Structure 1
Amino acid sequence: MLFMVEMLVDIPNSVPAEEAARIKADEKAYSQALQRSGKWPHIWRVVGQYANVSIFDVESNDELHTLLSQLPLFPFMKISVTPLARHPSAI
């Protein structure tokens, strides 16, 4: 199942810089592992925002929820999920 996932990150200023840096490093490692596994085949930065648009290729809604909720930045994210289906004009 394919999903478009939009993630907007907002880390509060109250989070110490060292803690924010650690969380971001953990996020990068986790997301790259998912990319290598094929579960997260596409990720694009949204210009001018601390945000991304990604494509996930997972077995179920539950699997997507589990993967997203395990993101280290999850507590600081606003996430929008859109299920995708193949377009009949696609070649």
Structure 2
Amino acid sequence: MLYMVEMIVQIPQSLDPELAAKIKLDEKEYSQKLQRQGQWRHLWRVVGEYANVSIFDASSNDELHTLLSGLPLFPYMQIKVTPLANHPSSIVQE
């Protein structure tokens, strides 16, 4: 099942800069692992914001929740999830 996931990152100014750098590095490694596994299909940056729009492929809502809650930046994110369905006019069906 495909999901559009919008993420806005809000790291507190008070967070230790070294800890923030470590969390960001862990986030990059985790996100790239999910991309290589085909679960994180697309990742786009939102221009001018610390935010992204992504497409995830997960077998269920529960699996998606597990993937998202595993993000090291998860505690600092606002996340909006939209389940996607095939459009009847699309020439590509997933």
The TM-score normalised by the length of structure 2 is 0.96
Deviation at 1:89, TM superposition (A): 0.3
User: How many aligned positions are there?
Assistant: 91
Amino acid at match of 1:86: N
* Cross-structure match for 1:22: 22
* Cross-structure match for 1:53: 53
| Aligned equivalents of 1:23, 1:57: Cα separation in 2 | 24
Matched, 1:77 2:77: yes
Deviation at 1:28, TM superposition (A): 0.2
| Aligned equivalents of 1:28, 1:67: Cα separation in 2 | 14
SS in 1 for 2:40: coil
Q: Cα deviations across residues 56-91 of structure 1 (Å, max 9, x unaligned)?
A: 011000000000001000000000000000000000
| Aligned equivalents of 1:86, 1:47: Cα separation in 2 | 27
Query: Which structure 1 segments of 5+ residues have no match?
Result: none
SS in 2 for 1:4: strand
- Map of 1:38-49 to 2, 5 A cutoff? 38-49=38-49
The TM-score normalised by the length of structure 1 is 0.99
SS in 1 for 2:86: coil
Query: Which structure 2 segments of 5+ residues have no match?
Result: none
Identity %, equivalent residues: 73
| Aligned equivalents of 1:16, 1:83: Cα separation in 2 | 35
| Aligned equivalents of 1:33, 1:41: Cα separation in 2 | 11
| Aligned equivalents of 1:30, 1:69: Cα separation in 2 | 11
* Cross-structure match for 2:37: 37
